[in-house]
Amino acid sequence: MVTTTPTDSKAVRFNYIRDPAEIYRRSFAAVREAADLSGLAPEMEDVGLRLIHASGMPKIVRELAFSDGAADVGRAALAAGAPVLVDVEMVAAGIIRDRLPAANRVICTLGDAAVAALAREYATTHSAAAVEFWKPHLAGSVVAIGTAPTALYRLLELIGEGADKPALVLGFPVGFIGAVESKQALSKHAGGVPFITLHGRLGGSALAAAAVNALAGERS
């Protein structure tokens, strides 16, 4: 039997950029070069840039849909201290806290101890049941849904039932069952609430978080 030790082989070293600021600068310069942002309102450019950066897909902006002035509404809400309501912890984890302008609370109720029982009672998903616990925080909030179509559907139902309205809904549920339809419902039945969404099956926690991060920082 032959054994090897670290001294038996040469250490491999790779030539790559290590400086975080330089990586950031080059990344967004590359995104701007690769993407066609001409179809976006100026207020939406930073959102488009961060979605491309998070997904690696310049063409993703073709599927962006948004109400007039939605991005500026979101920026103003965050600047005023609005909480960010998220459907899963993965969205919360992707939000850069240092960018939030008012030390905004990021709230995820999916882990609440009462969610499972409520989901059984309502015969629905945990994600939809967790939205019930958003009610005390909804007024003027920024909602970022990055996984569950059922969470987006239930939010729209609550708004239709007369619940307090959020300032902005970022709708990025992902997948093959309900994602396309829930985002279409957001575009058509937001009840006057400003929204940003990505039509089609694409979405996910990284994109929902990227949208929040775009609105949390100053416009570039």
89-112 pLDDT per residue, tens: 999 999 999 999 999 999 999 999
| Domain contains 99 | yes
Which of 53, 126, 137, 189 is an active site residue? 53
Residue 210 covered by a domain: yes
Domain that holds residue 119: 17-216
Residues in the chain: 220
The CATH number of the domain holding residue 158 is 3.40.50.10230
Q: Is residue 31 a contact partner of residue 175, using CB atoms and an 8 Å limit?
A: no
Report residue 10's pLDDT band, with 50, 70 and 90 as the boundaries. Answer: confident
- At 170, the pLDDT band (50, 70, 90 cuts) reads very high
Q: Which two three-digit tokens encode residue 15?
A: 């030539």
35-39, 150-154, 166-170: range with lowest mean pLDDT: 35-39
Is residue 137 annotated as part of the catalytic site, yes or no?
no
pLDDT given for residue 217 in this prediction:
83
Q: What is the pLDDT of residues 56-88, one digit of tens each?
A: 999 999 999 999 999 999 999 999 999 999 999
Query: What's the half-sphere exposure (Cβ side, CA atoms, 13 Å) at 114?
Result: 7
Average pLDDT rounded to a whole number, residues 118-140: 98
Does the pLDDT value for residue 1 go beyond 60? no
List the structure tokens of 78.
Answer: 């965050």
Q: Which residue has the tokens 């909602």?
A: 143
Average pLDDT over residues 150-169: 98
What pLDDT band is residue 39 in, cutting at 50, 70 and 90? confident
Integer Cα distance of 103 and 178 in angstroms: 33
Q: Give me the percent of the chain exceeding a pLDDT of 70.
A: 95
Query: Is the overall model pTM greater than 0.85, yes or no?
Result: yes
Overall domain count for the chain: 1
128 domain-assigned: yes
Q: Measure the CA–CA gap between 160 and 67, rounded to whole angstroms.
A: 18
Is residue 115 a part of any domain in this protein? yes
For residue 214, name the pLDDT band (cuts at 50, 70, 90). Answer: very high
Q: What is the mean pLDDT of residues 184-196?
A: 96
